[in-house]
Amino acid sequence: MTLIKKVMTHVLVIITISALIMGCARRPSAEELAQLEDLRAEVAALEREIESKEGERSSLQQQVSELDQNLRTCAEDKEKVRQRLQQWD
Amino acid sequence: MKYRSLLYLLVAALFVTSFAVTDLSAQNDMTRDEWEQQMAEYTQQRDELRQQLDALEAEIEELNEQIASKQAEYQACREEILAMVGATEAEIRSLVERIQQLENQVSALERLSDQELLQRRDEVDEVKEAVNELKGNRQTAHPDTYDRLMALDERVNNLLDRLEGMVITYTVGTWSRDRDCLWNIAKKRDIYDNAWLWPRIWQANRDKIRDPDIIHPGQRLQVPPKGDGRMTSGEQDAANRYYREVREGLR
């Protein structure tokens, strides 16, 4: 009986010490680390997508600029044609 | 003794387990506080990026709408010009192709020496005629054709000026004094020194000479240079026609 009591006491002491060691370290669990890793991956993916969208936006802005120029040229052309046709008539 | 061994085994197992769990975190060398901090930072960054992405997508959508609208406006403008000149896209394309052909022809003529150009004078006249015909077509007022046509016209005029520079003027004298006819004029030493080249003078003065047997004193005739002494195809055709008419008694 004394021996069992003694063993139980030892076990309790060891469990307490182990718990204290683990508790003092305050390390995140594997699941939490995986969560952080997922979050990092999501941020990286978003950054890549934004970079791609910025490229797309830049290309579209260029197209708008070219179309504006085309429209100005077309308006000038229309006026020139009007004047030429007056000479014809 | 048996229990003591069991106890040591248990202690060893607990230590191993404890270190195994600690080691998992130690691989990332991260404390819980650091983990929480990084989680917070990445979460904030993710939220900001999502907002940025949403804003970008909205901007892209708006730009696409602008492009569609401006393209429609541009198309309407082009169609309005087509309606003004009374042409279709296909007709303008066809005119552009015709101008391109003439430009190529003129480029080839421009590369010729004076003598070679003189030989192909008829071709220059044909190009000029074609350009004038195009200038009379109001569809060429279209911006895709007008400036090119005007530039082409100027180049053809330059070719004609070049040819003009090679031509001298001869004033016809009287038959009694000078014995001037196209044959005799061509035979003169300071003209061609070759009577058979008389059709050249005739063809260069078609506006003044309707019948090559009849020229009048005082007429000022253009005399193109002799060149290499060979007649152009136009001149040769005219000569052949004349000689045939003479043979057939039509002259």
Q: How far is CA A23 from CA A10, A28, B146, B203, in A?
A: 20, 11, 88, 116
Residue with more model confidence, B116 or B145:
B145
pLDDT band at residue B250 using 50, 70 and 90 as cut-offs: confident
ipTM reported for the complex surpasses 0.85: no
Q: What is the mean pLDDT of chain B?
A: 90
Per the model's pLDDT, the better-predicted residue between B221 and B11 turns out to be B221
Q: What's the one-letter identity of residue B105?
A: Q
Measure the CA–CA gap between B167 and B228, rounded to whole angstroms: 15
Domain count for chain B, please give it.
3
Q: Which of B140, B166, B192 is the last residue of a domain?
A: B166
Please check whether residue B56 touches A, CB under 8 A: yes
Q: Is residue A21's pLDDT more than 80?
A: no
Residue B145: which domain range?
89-166
Task: Say whether residue B7 is in contact with chain A using an 8 A CB cutoff.
Answer: yes
Alpha-carbon dihedral sign for residues A40, A42, A43, A44: positive
- Residues B192, B161 within the same domain: no
Write down the residue that tokens 């404890």 correspond to.
B18
Q: What is the pLDDT of residue B1?
A: 52
Residue B163 in this model has a pLDDT that exceeds 80 = yes
* Of the residues B26, B54, B85, the one at which a domain ends: B85
Same-domain status, B191 and B135: no
Contact B35 A33 (CB under 8 A): yes
Q: Are B157 and B125 a contacting pair, CB within 8 Å?
A: no
How is chain A split into domains, by residue range?
47-89
**B140 and B154 within one domain:** yes
Of the given ranges (B25-39, B161-175, B194-208), which has the lowest mean pLDDT?
B25-39
CATH of the domain at B189: 3.10.350.10
How does pLDDT run across B33-64, given as a tens digit for each residue?
999 999 999 999 999 999 999 999 999 999 99
Same structural domain for residues B13 and B80?
yes
Per the model's pLDDT, the better-predicted residue between B6 and A31 turns out to be A31
Q: Is there a contact between A28 and B26 if contact means CB atoms under 8 Å apart?
A: no
Where among B50, B85, B120 does a domain terminate?
B85
**CA distances to B25, B59, B156 from B8, in Å:** 26, 69, 112
B16 in A contact zone (CB under 8 Å): no
Burial letters for B116-144: b for 16+ Cβ neighbours within 10 Å, e otherwise? ebbbbbebbeebbebbeebeebbbbbbbb
Name the one residue in this structure whose structure tokens are 């669990």. Answer: A29
